[in-house]
Amino acid sequence: MTAILFGLATAIAWSVSTLCSTRASRMVGAAPALAWVSFIGFVICAPFALLDSRSGVDPVDLGWLGIAGLGNVIGLLLLYAAVRRGKVGIAAPIASTEGAIAALIAVLVGEAIAPSALLVMAVIVVGVVLATLDLSGADDGQPGVTPVFLALIIPVAIVFGIGLYAGGRVAGTVPAGWLISASRVVGVILVSLPMAVGARHRLRVPRAAWPWLIATAAAEVIGYWTYLMGARVSISVTAVLASQFAAIAVVGGYLLFGERLSRVQRGGVVLICVGVAALAVLRSAG
């Protein structure tokens, strides 16, 4: 039950992050948005990382930590670029298959999971896929699915999934403050600092963008912390439930950006919710 609760909390936090980052990236651009989100997140995380400071961490664990941070940063940059060109209601479900990829990696390397839970996970994944099948184009005045959009969003699930699994691998051995800070540190080093040196003018953002940037950074930190807490119990269950941020983001895209939900998308959202409920019952019974 612990993994279920933390997984659902992660879904809520990541949906907030997705919607706020969509607004921010459309206002200031993908790279500047990520630069500020990384920096703000680093400021939030730094005190906790310092409090968790300890010696003797295994170098292999540090390697997994680096992979987790790099996967998250690359995934966010691609996601921010994608939602500038297409609907968040399509981008979020595609990105959310990260959970299925992380779960698949976990099962392939030997994590035990009941066949019934695997079946329910498959149902959830089907629901997520159905939620992406709104290929009607720009009939509502917003961008449709284009080759550029797909080229940006499809790799997001892969790199996010690798990052999720890598973070889960060391969730019980590396200080939590380090885990939460990893992607923020990588983002500051690879995005924020280079832009501050070479493209400082691009870091100037309008006042209206600051609430969205701050909310994105805070939600990212909270979501990753809840994911890591759940991953200490089960990487696969937490990762798949965390992917349900897509269902919330689809609804949020409709409410905030006027994106229409197709019949297929609505069916996918319902299937996702049924699958989540069934998985909760199976895990609590076990």
Tens-digit pLDDT profile for residues 94-138: 887 777 777 778 777 877 667 787 788 788 788 777 876 755 555
Query: Please, what is the angle between helix 263-285 and helix 115-130, to 10°?
Result: 160
Q: What percent of the chain has pLDDT over 90?
A: 30
Higher-confidence residue: 74 or 97?
74
Q: Which amino acid, residue 138?
A: A
Span 159-187, pLDDT tens digits: 988 988 888 788 778 887 888 898 999 99
pLDDT of residue 23 exceeding 60: yes
Mean pLDDT score, 17-34: 95
Q: Which amino acid, residue 154?
A: I
pLDDT of residue 283 exceeding 70: no
Dihedral pair phi/psi, residue 195, rounded to 5°: -70, -35
Dihedral pair phi/psi, residue 122, rounded to 5°: -65, -40
Nearest to 181 by CA among 24, 39, 21: 39
pLDDT of 132 reads 66
Distance CA(139)–CA(77), nearest Å, equals: 27
Nearest to 156 by CA among 201, 111, 93, 213: 93
Distance CA(50)–CA(68), nearest Å, equals: 19
Mean pLDDT score, 57-77: 90
Nearest to 102 by CA among 261, 263, 241, 285: 241
pLDDT of 281 reads 63
Residue 282 and residue 114 in contact, taking contact as beta carbons nearer than 8 Å = yes
pLDDT of 196 reads 92
Could you write out the three-class secondary structure of the chain? CHHHHHHHHHHHHHHHHHHHHHHHHHHHCHHHHHHHHHHHHHHHHHHHHHHCCCCCCCHHHHHHHHHHHHHHHHHHHHHHHHHCCCCHHHHHHHHCCHHHHHHHHHHHCCCCCCHHHHHHHHHHHHHHHHCCCCCCCCCCCCCCCCHHHHHHHHHHHHHHHHHHHHHHHCCCCCCHHHHHHHHHHHHHHHHHHHHHHHCHHHHCCCHHHHHHHHHHHHHHHHHHHHHHHHHCCCHHHHHHHHCCHHHHHHHHHHHHHCCCCCHHHHHHHHHHHHHHHHHHHHHHHC
Nearest to 249 by CA among 67, 58, 16, 84: 16
pLDDT of 189 reads 95
pLDDT of 109 reads 80
pLDDT of 219 reads 96
Token pair of 244, please? 């349900």
**Count, residues in the chain:** 286
Tell me the pLDDT of the chain averaged across its residues: 83
pLDDT of 206 reads 93
Q: Rounded to two decimals, what is the model's pTM? A: 0.83
